Chains A and B, each alone.
Chain A
């Protein structure tokens, strides 16, 4: 589904990603861990098409096509979803209107008719239940005045609504209490299927108690320096990142 080959990314002449390789197949869950400043969020933003970063080398193929050539909205319509680390507030725009526009753009892309108002509201109800989001949130403006936890849950709710093929969750777990964490993880697990894949970016191991990854990668200084199974995450939890740094630098 996703093939990243020797990716290099700069911002303001500073190289952040320094030759990164990763392959994600349908049905897989990948966790990317790493210390602060290692390039995790940059990777997520570049995949989603944020234009403040400059790709200086390498290739990214998404379903066999060049991902980096596509506009952010094109990527989204082709099923790439980014769960934001810091979801953006859009005052005045209701969640209902926002999501309805997004869902119908997606349907248009797939050659489907727009959903009727009643079908859309029904879909919202079902998905809300799935991710246990409190119903009043969807009556408010997009993320406006939401608490940190509400914003993160709202990202998972949007993911449920948009049914992506590849979901990239950028530190969706940071700042969550244990109940919210469980809800977020539950949402991700519910949406898992043979046709879809997820990349879960996280700083801590604890999210991986709830989301069982097929692969765990450690991102350090712009490169994936170590890959393994779930055990690697436990090892990191136990020993921290220091030994990885030492290993990488030696």
Chain B
């Protein structure tokens, strides 16, 4: 593992955003703009049942009554929602489960990204759902998982094949009324992943979704729903990249997790959307609503995220701790460089008795970027003996960047114990020189120090992801000190 890490750390010197290529593939898109007809068209193309269309239209009508939120410490240019394309699919011969029939261009794209879809080559045993623009391209290991009763498929397929489950859980954790972007997503979402772990089943492999925006002027709105029944376990990870483009692109996703009694769900994200160039031109707007509910007693949801990409990130993966003795965890590393802006953190809502939450947030700011932690810990009246521990650290590189911490603590129960610790530090010239004197170049020294700083969070990621995340941290910060 160490050797592998060193090799990768060595390899990356000198590279910028590696995933900025564009695949020239025929796209099947609908006309740009947003209205009820567009929504009906999306629903029709996906052969959705009526309940789905009704849900979309209700969400759309609600969205029309809402305004873009302005409370985050972000400068968001106005978004013209009528100039976006809401559905774009790489044109394949037909939707299929056999790999031979997947367009070779598509396979090549995912191979370039290091996401092999060919199962026989897949040594690590990770099941992958690959989503390009608006549709899921291929889900691997589906049959193996089906033997255990696990459903792992694209969201569209779930809507068609398992409408009852979708109907039962969709929108129960993030209702379409939740916020502006959640409403928009609920109206126009295209695809995403669906995962259902039945009672007593421990999912034997990592499940993973890989999101790729390819087409221009296209918004990506995916939805992920993870349901873990009593006594089940699943570890889920998601990765994201996009081509380098001068214009901004919008990504507004929803992730919902439901954990029943004694269920344990781990959800890891390595977000590497295109961040824009050094002057701040282009890049993805990443406005995502992620939330899990520990509905059952003794259940647990852990979020781990590494955020290095996007021009603007607005994201607060949270946990509603409803079941007694349930546990929510949030581990995050958010890196901003050049002109990137991030306002990210978590929400922990304690409802059940003896609920516990842990928040570890590590912000790293470089260049002229702004990095904010925003976190809410709320203890409701009935949440006897709730415990929260929050640690928010900021690391600054250079003197033109900013780090901000906005903790919100609301407790209505006097037995609650809530702790918040925060630190701010800077990578010193002394530290860099010390490394230099031992033969370690400045870029590598920063990589070493940053990875050391983020270790606590990186350790929470599945191994494949941890290595990728380390690489990413180093690439993202290249040229940021000097």
Contacts of B206 in A (CB 8 A): none
* CB of A35 within 8 Å of the partner chain: no
Min CB distance A152 to B, Å, is 14
* CB of B452 within 8 Å of the partner chain: yes
Q: Known interface pairs A72-B433, A116-B3. Does A91 touch B439 (Cβ–Cβ under 8 Å)?
A: no
* CB of B61 within 8 Å of the partner chain: no
In whole angstroms, how far apart are the Cα atoms of A49 and B438 in the complex?
12
Which residues of A from 84 to 107 have beta carbons under 8 Å from B? 84, 87-94, 97-102, 104-106
Contacts of B434 in A (CB 8 A): 84, 87-88, 90, 142
Chain A interface residue count, CB cutoff 8 Å, equals 37
Stretch at the interface among B123-131, B310-318, B410-418, B440-448: B440-448
Among the listed A76, A91, A99, A117, which residue makes an inter-chain contact with B437, where contact means beta carbons less than 8 Å apart? A76
Q: Known interface pairs A72-B433, A116-B3, A117-B2. Does A98 touch B455 (Cβ–Cβ under 8 Å)?
A: no
Name A residues whose Cβ lies closer than 8 Å to a Cβ of B.
48-50, 71-73, 75-77, 81-82, 84, 87-94, 97-102, 104-106, 109, 114, 116-117, 141-142, 158, 162
* CB of B431 within 8 Å of the partner chain: yes
Contacts of A117 in B (CB 8 A): 2-3
Contacts of A90 in B (CB 8 A): 431, 434-435, 448-449, 452
Min CB distance A233 to B, Å, is 27
Min CB distance B71 to A, Å, is 33
* CB of B436 within 8 Å of the partner chain: yes
* CB of B430 within 8 Å of the partner chain: yes
**A71-B436, A90-B449 provided; 9 other pairs, C-beta below 8 A?**
A49-B437, A73-B439, A77-B439, A92-B451, A97-B2, A100-B2, A101-B448, A105-B441, A116-B3
Q: Are B436 and A72 in contact, with the CB atoms below 8 A?
A: yes
Min CB distance B289 to A, Å, is 32
Min CB distance A96 to B, Å, is 8
* CB of B19 within 8 Å of the partner chain: no
Q: Looking across the interface, which residue of chain A has its beta carbon closest to that of B452?
A: A92
Q: Looking across the interface, which residue of chain A has its beta carbon closest to that of B2?
A: A117
Q: Known interface pairs A88-B430, A101-B6. Does A93 touch B439 (Cβ–Cβ under 8 Å)?
A: no
In whole angstroms, how far apart are the Cα atoms of A235 and B111 in the complex?
73
Contacts of B439 in A (CB 8 A): 73, 76-77, 102, 105-106, 109, 162
Min CB distance A228 to B, Å, is 30
In whole angstroms, how far apart are the Cα atoms of A159 and B425 in the complex?
29
Which residues of B from 1 to 19 have beta carbons under 8 Å from A? 2-3, 6
Q: Are A101 and B444 in contact, with the CB atoms below 8 A?
A: yes
A sample of 12 inter-chain contacts (CB < 8 A) reads A73-B442, A76-B436, A76-B438, A90-B431, A90-B448, A92-B455, A101-B444, A104-B6, A105-B439, A114-B3, A141-B452, A158-B438
Among the listed B425, B438, B452, which residue makes an inter-chain contact with A102, where contact means beta carbons less than 8 Å apart? B438
* CB of B169 within 8 Å of the partner chain: no
* CB of B453 within 8 Å of the partner chain: yes
Contacts of B444 in A (CB 8 A): 101, 105
